[in-house]
Structure 1
Amino acid sequence: MIDFKQYGIDMWDTDKIDSFRKTLLAWYDREKRDLPWRHTKNPYHIWISEIMLQQTQVATVIPYYERFLEWFPTIADLANADEERLLKAWEGLGYYSRVRNMQIAAQQIMTDFDGHFPETYAEIAQLKGIGPYTAGAIASIAFDLVEPAVDGNVMRVMARLFEVNYDIGDPKNRKIFQAICEVLIDPKRPGDFNQALMDLGADIESAKNPRPEESPIRFFSAAYLHNTMDKYPIKEPKKKPKPIQIQAFVITNSKGEFLLEKNDSERLLAGFWSFPLLETQIVAQQLSLFETDSKETPTISQKTVFEKDYRLQPVWSDQTFPLVKHTFSHRRWLVDIIAGTVLDDTLANDKTLAWVKKEDLDNYPLATPQKKLMASYFKANPL
């Protein structure tokens, strides 16, 4: 256990800790959200929900969670799933490495644990894509193990509770919040304790527009009592995503079918289908232009590169489209659409390409940027 005094934290005595646990859990019993994954102790179901809830709102996750279990009801089903169906199940949630890691972890479970979800924290933490928070959540909720589940929401609550003067965004400081939760966690109801903190941090103690007067633990909170709620948690601002200019080519053939390409690389959005995309160099002088709703007309050289790479000769359209924008965690795509039609639709065999009818587009795994591109194109060209 760390020395809390070293970090300027005045840890409570056992009576206050016990009172805190009772207060928090009594509030949770009255106010807890009715969520489908809270009606089960199945570690597979809890695992799916926890991975989906990372960076995603609860209301968004529920239909994804229910469909995922319908498509992949067992660990074996997930382990053996076809990649395209797996990506289709995750389509729209983003952070697609997570579902790929889930499949690898499911394969680990089939191989190393004879298809049974591991039941200790150490074994759970060995699974691909499962970090300390997720391992703690599964261990405590599914198996009643006394393991904290410390995510950003929980660190925010702890920072206010003890006026922790350390940046919650700095990974090296996580051990401070982990140690606090190891002391506070209720050994009789560890899963409920963790979920109570999650609910509190996601709503009343949220990052934006918190409602401290409604907090059930406000009289335990040093920040509330000292009127310093606006100071905590300490968190350095994130760097702005890097803008990247992308050219999207919406190519149709004489049958009205659309050209889609599968991303066979190991890079961003691997495994998904999209209109052919060409990344172009961003120069400093263009940044102010890209941050507006205006766009730059595609150059002849970009069209020429497409014709050479795809060995197609489109008749290019003069139609213009609004700039399509999509922000990832570390980059921001600014996508310009150019449309064209080909008479000879013979496809190059060095890429994974397909001609697809409009009504069949949704049968392919399509990431959010591609859906935005289709929405922009079909708004201008209703069929």
Structure 2
Amino acid sequence: MRDTDVIGHDLLAWYDANARDLPWRVGPAARRAGERPDPYRVWLSEIMLQQTTVAAVRDYFHRFTTRWPTVTALAEAEDAEVMGEWAGLGYYARARNLLKCARVVAGELHGTFPDTREGLLALPGIGPYTAAAVSSIAFDRAETVMDGNVERVMARLFDVHTPLPAAKPELFAHAEALKPLERPGDHAQAVMDLGATICTPRSPACGICPLIGVCTARARGTAPELPKKTPKKPKPIRRGIAYLVQRSDGALLLETRPDKGLLGGMLGWPGTEWAEAPPEDPPIETEWRTLPGEVRHTFTHFHLILTLQASTVGPEAMPTRGQFMPRAEFRPSDLPTVMRKAFDLWQAKS
């Protein structure tokens, strides 16, 4: 038996006994009994899991699938409702593309997801990784699925010392060579589970790994230092002002951010551009007071520091942008994390 066959056999045997119980997953026992994954749930989970942990996604996935149990139901939802449910999960372009994709599948494809990588790649918001994952997990296609967990497993299994991201093609080639023709969906999930539970970034549990006998990095004592990564450049700091306005009847001044750009389509407080030296740009004429403290938040490419300006205005006040929302209709949970931080500080200092 070839080494690749041994790895595949041992990995699937381990997965059959140790597969994680995930709300979007059909486990190995259920698959053997004939149950098949719902492509909608697989796709939704993969979009949610981009740049996010399983622990963070579970509650969001449950709320989404309870409120919108099918791709058609999601396609018919109001944009603001979906963005509100997504709030706090981050990377908000995913939510906009989620709706675009759902509407294409529900409309043009009559509610049926394509079952091939190529067909999935044609849909909005689906890139190479997601297309490979959905086609493999939902339709048992023999695709190579590469996420951070798989990269780590491959780097250690084959003792690859080339730093990421330059190592990606080499790691993909190793994963491609291990791809089986039988049970490819379970194989893909097995490698990801191995990276998430045993071959972890720190202190890998090599002693209980099903691949300990064939892991080159384990044999050479290099596993804990892999995969190597190219040092990241320090993130720049940007600043901004958020204007928090309450009308005398309790209504709050809010605006929906433009579809393009950070937090696109999300509800938030009117504010300035985020720059090294943001210009003052108040949305209404009033007396402002600067709240003590500041809001700090980190995005992918920069750190943000927000100063908060607050005011209470009368019923005649007319904003130049945004609109007043009755307090009874306002839900802090509909705000993205940085805007909710601003709201929390405002309430604490009021």
What TM-score, normalized by structure 2, do the two folds share? 0.90
Q: Does 1:353 align with 2:323?
A: yes
Q: CA deviation at 1:370?
A: 0.9
* Deviations 1:267-296 (CA, angstroms, capped at 9, x unpaired): 21122222221236426xxxxxxxxxxxxx
Higher Rg: 1
Asked if structure 1 preserves the Cα contact closer than 8 Å seen for 2:105 and 2:112, the reply is yes
Q: CA deviation at 1:201?
A: 1.2
Coordinate RMSD, CA, aligned: 2.2
Q: CA deviation at 1:239?
A: 2.6
Partners of 1:339 and 1:199 lie apart in 2 by: 47
Asked if structure 1 preserves the Cα contact closer than 8 Å seen for 2:202 and 2:224, the reply is no
Asked if structure 1 preserves the Cα contact closer than 8 Å seen for 2:245 and 2:313, the reply is yes
Give the match's secondary structure for 1:69.
helix
Q: Does 1:154 align with 2:150?
A: yes
Is 42-51 or 361-370 further displaced after alignment?
361-370
Partners of 2:129 and 2:94 lie apart in 1 by: 14
Partners of 1:110 and 1:65 lie apart in 2 by: 19
Partner of 1:177: 171
Partner of 1:73: 69
Q: Does 1:61 align with 2:48?
A: no
Asked if structure 2 preserves the Cα contact closer than 8 Å seen for 1:245 and 1:280, the reply is yes
Q: Does 1:255 align with 2:249?
A: yes
Q: Does 1:22 align with 2:9?
A: yes
Give the match's secondary structure for 2:304.
strand
Equivalent position to 1:36, from 20, 23, 31: 23
Partners of 2:298 and 2:151 lie apart in 1 by: 26
Partners of 2:79 and 2:40 lie apart in 1 by: 19
One-letter amino acid of the structure 1 residue matched with residue 184 of structure 2 = P
Asked if structure 2 preserves the Cα contact closer than 8 Å seen for 1:259 and 1:355, the reply is yes
Partner of 2:81: 85
Partners of 1:125 and 1:334 lie apart in 2 by: 37
Residues 221-232 of structure 1 correspond to what in structure 2 (within 5 A)? Answer: 221-232=215-226
Q: Does 1:212 align with 2:233?
A: no
Equivalent position to 1:202, from 196, 210, 213: 196
Q: Does 1:315 align with 2:287?
A: yes
Give the match's secondary structure for 2:17.
helix
Partner of 2:341: 372
C-alpha distance 62-280 of structure 1, shift in aligned 2 (>3 A):
closer
What TM-score, normalized by structure 1, do the two folds share? 0.82
Partners of 2:174 and 2:78 lie apart in 1 by: 42
Q: CA deviation at 1:15?
A: 2.1
Asked if structure 1 preserves the Cα contact closer than 8 Å seen for 2:333 and 2:340, the reply is no
Asked if structure 1 preserves the Cα contact closer than 8 Å seen for 2:156 and 2:217, the reply is yes
C-alpha distance 356-242 of structure 1, shift in aligned 2 (>3 A):
farther
Give the match's secondary structure for 1:88.
helix
- Sequence identity of aligned pairs in percent? 36
Q: Does 1:325 align with 2:296?
A: yes
Q: CA deviation at 1:315?
A: 2.6
Unmatched 5+ residue regions in structure 1?
A: 1-13, 284-297
Partners of 2:203 and 2:130 lie apart in 1 by: 26
One-letter amino acid of the structure 1 residue matched with residue 306 of structure 2 = V
Partners of 2:98 and 2:172 lie apart in 1 by: 24
One-letter amino acid of the structure 2 residue matched with residue 371 of structure 1 = R
Aligned length: 341
